[in-house]
Amino acid sequence: MNYSKINNLTGWLCFLIATVTYILTLEPSVSFWDCGEFIASALKMQVVHQPGAPLFLMIQRFFSLFAFGDLTKIAYFMNVGSAIASGATILFLFWTITALAKKALIKEKEEVSQANLITIMGAGVVGALAYTFSDSFWFSAVESEVYALSSLFTAIVFWGILKWEAVADEPRADRWLLFIAYIMGLSIGIHLLNLLTIPAIAFVYYFKKVKNPTTAGIIKAGIVGILILAVVQYGIIQYVVSFGAYFDLFFVNTLGMGFGTGVMVFAILLIGGFVWGIRYSIKHEKKILNLSLLSVVLILFGYSSFSMIIIRAKANPNLNNSAPDNVFSFLGYLNREQYGDRPLLFGPNYNSQAINSVEGKTLYRKGAEKYEVAGKKSDYEYDRITPFPRMYSDDAGHVAYYKDMMGFSDDHFPSLIDNIGFLLSYQTGQMYMRYFLWNFVGRQNDDQGQGSLYEGQWLSGIKPIDALHLGSQKNLPPSITESNAYNRFFFLPLILGLLGAIWHFKRNQKDAGIVALLFFFTGMAIVLYLNQKPMEPRERDYAYVGSFYAFAIWIGFGVLALREWLFKKLTPATGGILATVIGLFAAPVIMAAQGWDDHDRSTKMVAHDIALDYLQSCAPNAILFTYGDNDTYPLWYAQEVENIRPDIRLVNLSLFDTDWYINGMKRKMNESEPLPISMNESQYVQGVRDVMYYQNADIAGNIELKNILELLLSENSEDKLPLNDGRKVNFIPTKNFKITVDKEAVLKNGVVSPADSAKIVPAIEWTFNKNYVTKGTLAMFDILVHNNWKRPIYFASTVPSEQYNGLDKYLYNEGLALHLMPLKVDTAASRNELINTPVLYNNVMNKFVWGNVKNAKYLDPQSSDDISIFTNVFNNTISGLLKEGKKEDAQKVVNRYFEVMPEKFYGMRSMMGAYFMAENLYQLGDSKRANALIEKSADYIMKELTYLADVSESKKRFVGGQNVQLGLSFLNSMARTTAENKQDKLSKELAEKFNLLEARFSPFFPAQ
Phi, psi at residue 765, to the nearest 5°? -125, 135
pLDDT in tens, 723-768: 777 788 899 999 999 999 999 999 999 899 898 899 999 999 999 9
On the question of pLDDT at 195 being above 80, the answer is: yes
Give the per-residue pLDDT at 727.
81
Instruction: Look at residues 425, 449, 422, 420 and name the one whose alpha carbon lies nearest to residue 435.
Output: 449
On the question of pLDDT at 419 being above 80, the answer is: yes
- Indicate the pLDDT class of residue 377, thresholds 50, 70 and 90: confident
Is the Cα dihedral 504, 184, 542, 533 positive or negative? Answer: positive
- Indicate the pLDDT class of residue 1, thresholds 50, 70 and 90: low
Q: Which amino acid is at 682?
A: S
pLDDT in tens, 330-375: 999 998 887 778 899 999 999 999 888 888 888 899 988 899 998 8
Per the CB < 8 A criterion, the answer to whether 454 and 907 are in contact is: no
Give the per-residue pLDDT at 718.
85
On the question of pLDDT at 993 being above 80, the answer is: yes
Mean pLDDT confidence for 11-39: 97
Q: Which amino acid is at 732?
A: I
Per the CB < 8 A criterion, the answer to whether 413 and 419 are in contact is: no
Q: Which residues contact 285 (CB under 8 A, 6 or more apart)?
A: none
- Indicate the pLDDT class of residue 108, thresholds 50, 70 and 90: confident
Cis ω before 464 (30° cut-off from 0): no
Q: What is the number of helices (H) and of strands (E) in the chain?
A: 39, 18
Residue 101 Ramachandran class (φ > 0 left, ψ -120 to 50 alpha, else beta): alpha
* CA–CA separation, 675 and 177 (whole Å): 53
- Indicate the pLDDT class of residue 107, thresholds 50, 70 and 90: confident
Local structure of residue 1003 (DSSP, 8 states): G
- Indicate the pLDDT class of residue 720, thresholds 50, 70 and 90: confident
Alpha carbons within 13 A on the beta-carbon side of 655:
23
Longest Cα–Cα distance of the chain, Å, equals 99
Instruction: Look at residues 632, 613, 48, 32 and name the one whose alpha carbon lies nearest to residue 320.
Output: 48
Per the CB < 8 A criterion, the answer to whether 537 and 101 are in contact is: no
The rounded mean pLDDT for the chain is 93
Mean pLDDT confidence for 759-784: 94
Per the CB < 8 A criterion, the answer to whether 598 and 484 are in contact is: yes
pLDDT in tens, 870-907: 999 999 999 999 999 999 999 999 999 999 999 999 99
Helix (H, G, I), strand (E, B) or coil at 774: strand
Per the CB < 8 A criterion, the answer to whether 133 and 70 are in contact is: no
On the question of pLDDT at 825 being above 90, the answer is: no
* CA–CA separation, 304 and 185 (whole Å): 8
* CA–CA separation, 199 and 518 (whole Å): 8
* CA–CA separation, 556 and 778 (whole Å): 59
Phi, psi at residue 794, to the nearest 5°? -130, 155
Give the per-residue pLDDT at 1007.
57
Helix (H) or strand (E) segment spanning residue 735:
none
pLDDT in tens, 614-651: 999 999 999 999 998 999 999 999 999 999 999 999 99
Q: Which residues contact 304 (CB under 8 A, 6 or more apart)?
A: 185
On the question of pLDDT at 922 being above 90, the answer is: yes
Q: How, if at all, do strands 736-740 and 763-767 pair?
A: antiparallel
* CA–CA separation, 652 and 634 (whole Å): 12
Q: Which amino acid is at 219?
A: I
Per the CB < 8 A criterion, the answer to whether 493 and 130 are in contact is: yes
Q: Which residues contact 479 (CB under 8 A, 6 or more apart)?
A: 445, 447, 454, 907, 944
Instruction: Look at residues 62, 35, 18 and name the one whose alpha carbon lies nearest to residue 636.
Output: 35
Inter-helix orientation angle 887-900/861-883, to 10°: 170
Q: How, if at all, do strands 817-820 and 793-796 pair?
A: antiparallel
pLDDT in tens, 576-624: 999 999 999 999 999 999 999 999 999 999 999 999 999 999 999 999 9
- Indicate the pLDDT class of residue 831, thresholds 50, 70 and 90: low
C-alpha pair distances (Å), 474 with each of 452, 848, 943: 18, 42, 11
* CA–CA separation, 66 and 57 (whole Å): 15
pLDDT in tens, 949-974: 999 999 999 999 899 999 999 999 99
On the question of pLDDT at 976 being above 90, the answer is: yes
Instruction: Look at residues 302, 151, 291, 315 and name the one whose alpha carbon lies nearest to residue 228.
Output: 291
* CA–CA separation, 244 and 249 (whole Å): 9
Mean pLDDT confidence for 927-938: 95
Mean pLDDT confidence for 649-662: 96
Instruction: Look at residues 388, 407, 398 and name the one whose alpha carbon lies nearest to residue 351.
Output: 398
Helix (H, G, I), strand (E, B) or coil at 818: strand
pLDDT in tens, 839-851: 999 999 999 999 9
Q: Which residues contact 1002 (CB under 8 A, 6 or more apart)?
A: none
C-alpha pair distances (Å), 28 with each of 20, 78, 398, 605: 15, 10, 37, 7
* CA–CA separation, 586 and 127 (whole Å): 11
C-alpha pair distances (Å), 741 with each of 238, 705, 768, 807, 812: 52, 12, 18, 14, 17
* CA–CA separation, 153 and 89 (whole Å): 8
